[in-house]
Amino acid sequence: MDFEFPNPDWNVPAELNAAWDAGYTPFVNLMVGYETSPTRTAAYIASGAIDADIRAWAQEFAAWANDGNRQAFLAPLPEMNSDWVPYGLDP
């Protein structure tokens, strides 16, 4: 999932419920730049520029988790050591 994907109020429960309702624990790669701009760097993210998007996603995830009654594995900004993600190789 992309933190900046519009409408996290739809995207988060729709995606997570698809796995959860089938009896699986969702595994979520949390990325940036995939849906909106491929130029997101680690410095851009660290600057706080997308903090509002991250908070919106987190609030929707918290609501979906239902006080811990549902869980998911979260992998924020995976594969940072590669060049196929916009924030990769950008210490």
Q: Is residue 44 part of a domain?
A: yes
pLDDT of residue 18: 95
As for how many domains the chain has, the answer is 1
Give the whole-angstrom CA distance, residue 13 versus residue 77. Answer: 20
Q: Is residue 61 part of a domain?
A: yes
Sign of CA dihedral 58, 25, 34, 90: positive
Q: Is residue 49 part of a domain?
A: yes
- Model confidence, pTM: 0.85
pLDDT of residue 42: 81
pLDDT digits (tens, 9 = 90+) for 48-83: 999 999 999 999 999 999 999 999 999 988 888 888
| Mean per-residue pLDDT, 12-33 | 94
Domain span at 57: 8-76
With a cut of 70, say whether residue 38 has pLDDT above it: no
pLDDT of residue 6: 86
Q: Is residue 19 part of a domain?
A: yes
